[in-house]
Amino acid sequence: MPTCLSLGTFDGVHLGHQKIIRTLVRESRLRGYGSVAVYFPLPPKFFFSGERENCLITLPAEREALLKSCGAGRVEMLPFGAKLASMSAESFFRRVVLGAYGAREVAAGRDFAFGKDREGNAEFLEKRCAAAGVGYKAVPFASYKGHKISSSLIRAFLRSGRIEDANKCLGRNYSAAGKVVKGAGVGRALGFPTANIGVDPAKILPPGVFAAKARLGGETFSAVLNIGRRPTIGSLGGRLLLEAHILDFDRLIYGRRLEVEFLKHLRPEKKFRSREHLKEQISSDIALARKYFRAREKSRTRLAARA
């Protein structure tokens, strides 16, 4: 079956990516083609740099689910390795776009590039499609505060704790998930039990403290997240950890999958001189988070009343 094709890393499946997939789906329906979204699991620049940790907005499984939710009829992963990296733009077009996927229409962002040294830019793709009798749709950028929305922009927002900006560019709340694992028990000893979430090391974890929603099975709870390097007391160092204090909750949930949605940045990561100082700060964080959730609920109630 002829296809309408979109290719890219699609890390984050942000508002710009969503425009591309909407175009893909619309064009495929107009022409009676199948719609196929093909993604690279790792951005090529990370393949070349060797960066593998704290680098992805969305893990491959998350990306696949999001692309499907945007309406793509078929979603496939195309591993990016040395063979693909050394392939010329012409070979990529013939062997992948035409050969592997039988594309009769291509929808791509204006900054899409492919082939060795990114030689296949939008202009090349448009000309090559025209010569092969393949339709081509160049999709305009989505923008935020005067900037082109890109995966690089969102990564920068996340790494600096600017979660509200990241969420607006994504068109949804940033999230992370994993199994709850045993920690050092410091939070429980201080009177604030936390769930330590084992997240894939490739996933970007924004540093700091956040108000969040936590999903456990079919239940949703308000939570305070702390992401930082241990130990918290003394000098900062060690590995990056995600722990969630679920408000008004005290169950043992080791081994269960917990998903958290980042809603608001409360404060940056910091070190503490003693456990007492840490305990005072946690109390303050929880109070601030409760205030945020109350204001959020009031706003929702007002909006519902107007509807």
Domains and CATH numbers, the chain: 3-148 (3.40.50.620), 173-306 (2.40.30.30)
pLDDT digits (tens, 9 = 90+) for 277-293: 889 999 999 999 999 99
Does residue 235 have a pLDDT over 60? no
pLDDT digits (tens, 9 = 90+) for 126-156: 999 999 999 999 999 999 999 999 999 999 9
Contact 197, 177 (CB under 8 A): yes
Instruction: From residue 98, give the alpha-carbon distance in Å to each of 92, 197, 201, 301.
Output: 9, 43, 35, 52
pLDDT digits (tens, 9 = 90+) for 64-102: 999 999 999 999 999 988 899 999 999 999 999 999 999
Q: How confident is the model at residue 239 (pLDDT cuts 50, 70, 90)?
A: low
pLDDT the model gives residue 236: 44
What's the mean per-residue pLDDT of the chain?
Answer: 93
Show the tokens assigned to 1.
Answer: 């079956």
For helices 151-159 and 163-170, the axis angle rounded to 10 degrees is 160
| pLDDT over 90 percentage in the chain | 77
Mean pLDDT, range 13-41, rounded to an integer: 97
**Terminal alpha carbon distance of the chain:** 45
